[in-house]
Structure 1
Amino acid sequence: MSQPPAPIRTPCIKVCVVDGESGLCLGCYRRLNEVAGWARLSETERERIMAELPTRRSLIRPEKLGLL
């Protein structure tokens, strides 16, 4: 019997709201096309995007993240 595929690692936190100004999800900081195509990306592409996510937060105005 074959093994089921390994789960795909994702930054999704189930807060799916896209900021019109930055084009980023307010929950995970991915772009809509990245969210939509996540399962089709290679592991290398997903890891590259995941590495960028912490810096993307600065592209969203703090008040939109509830920080002010």
Structure 2
Amino acid sequence: MTTVPSPCINWCDINPENGYCRGCYRTLTEIAEWSDMTNPEKLEVWTQLSIRKPQAPL
């Protein structure tokens, strides 16, 4: 079984305005729990990232 890859791009900086990492757009909770998530949970996070990214201020 193939695991869903992490969206991490090694630019870890949490935006205090929205709580999303400026590199991957995950929350601290999502980052911390990534390795314990199931593939469907990881895919759901990926879906959320595509929604968050265009809306996240730099």
Which residue matches 2:40?
44
Pick the aligned partner of 1:55 from 44, 51, 55.
51
**Under a length normalisation based on structure 2, what TM-score does the superposition of the two structures give?**
0.86
Taking the aligned partners of 2:48 and 2:4, their CA distance within structure 1 comes to: 18
Which has the larger Rg? 1
**Under a length normalisation based on structure 1, what TM-score does the superposition of the two structures give?**
0.75
Structure 1 segments of 4 or more deviating over 4 A?
A: 5-8
- Give the CA RMSD over aligned residues: 1.7
Identity across matched positions, percent = 31
1:18 aligns with 2:14: yes
Q: 1:29 is aligned with what amino acid?
A: Y
Which residue matches 1:32?
28
Unpaired runs of 5+ in structure 2? none
Higher relative contact order (CA 8 A, sep 6+): 2
